[in-house]
Structure 1
Amino acid sequence: MRHIVKETPSKDEFLAWQRIAGVDKKKFVNTNGKKYKEMGLKDTIDTMSDADLFELISGDGMLVKRPILVGDDFVLIGFKLKEWEERF
């Protein structure tokens, strides 16, 4: 287990997880967080490439939506009880 804020995943890890999950890049971003708001990412996130966004959030774990659970063939992002119940 890894503490995302202290040991933030790399850009390449995010890109791999995105492929497995099949989700938009924004799913990995803590859009309710203070840093997100301070940086004005709401206004720029849509124009950023996936790689650029993942490079940015890999530099600051507070920008990452948590928790993230990664398996061989799945990635759960954030805690949504129904998704977690269906998986387990």
Structure 2
Amino acid sequence: MELTYYGYSRCETCRKAKNWLDEKDIAYNEHDIVQNPPNREELENLYKKSGLELKKFFNTSGKKYRELGLKDKIKSADEKELLDILASDGMLLKRPIVTDGENVTVGFKEEQFEEVWNK
């Protein structure tokens, strides 16, 4: 199955992930995470399948994250509210997000990509 890749062209980590996928000749359907981010329902599905804490989906080093003061908000908000916040702006999402419909990775760690996507 072809992967779905959500990334941002100006993100160095995204470029590393794309290069890795390209070098391994792994097909993917690319989505600009800013222009065409996953919607709330897709985000909830990605979150549930990832096995990660929802806060791992936030781009904590991003300007938008700091502007909105989300560091404290994340600690007290419930799942529904956090998903709504994430769905409001693609720049809030940690990237890249890669999925095959069952597996999900957030960010790029070569060892993790090797384990999950190099099958």
User: TM above 0.5, one fold?
Assistant: yes
1:38 to 37, 42, 67: 67
User: Which residue of structure 1 aligns with residue 43 of structure 2?
Assistant: 14
Q: Distance in 2 between matches of 1:48 and 1:8?
A: 22
2:96 to 60, 63, 67: 67
Q: Alpha-carbon deviations, 1:5-45, whole Å to 9, x = none?
A: 11121111111111111111011110010111111100111
Q: Distance in 1 between matches of 2:76 and 2:56?
A: 15
User: Which residue of structure 2 aligns with residue 29 of structure 1?
Assistant: 58
Q: Quick one: percent identity of the two aligned structures?
A: 40
The structure with the largest strand share of the pair is 2
Q: Alpha-carbon deviations, 1:39-67, whole Å to 9, x = none?
A: 11001112111221111121111100110
What's the secondary structure of 2:60's corresponding residue?
A: coil
Consecutive unaligned residues in structure 1, runs of 5 or more: none
Letter in 2 for 1:70: T
Q: Distance in 2 between matches of 1:35 and 1:8?
A: 15
Does 2:34 correspond to 1:5?
Answer: yes
**What's the C-alpha RMSD, in Å, of the aligned pairs?**
1.0
Q: Check the 8 A contact 1:33/1:62 in 2, yes or no.
A: yes
Q: Check the 8 A contact 1:67/1:79 in 2, yes or no.
A: yes
Q: Distance in 1 between matches of 2:87 and 2:101?
A: 21
Q: Distance in 1 between matches of 2:49 and 2:101?
A: 9
TM-score by length of 2: 0.70
TM-score by length of 1: 0.92
Larger radius of gyration: 2
1:72 CA drift (Å): 2.6
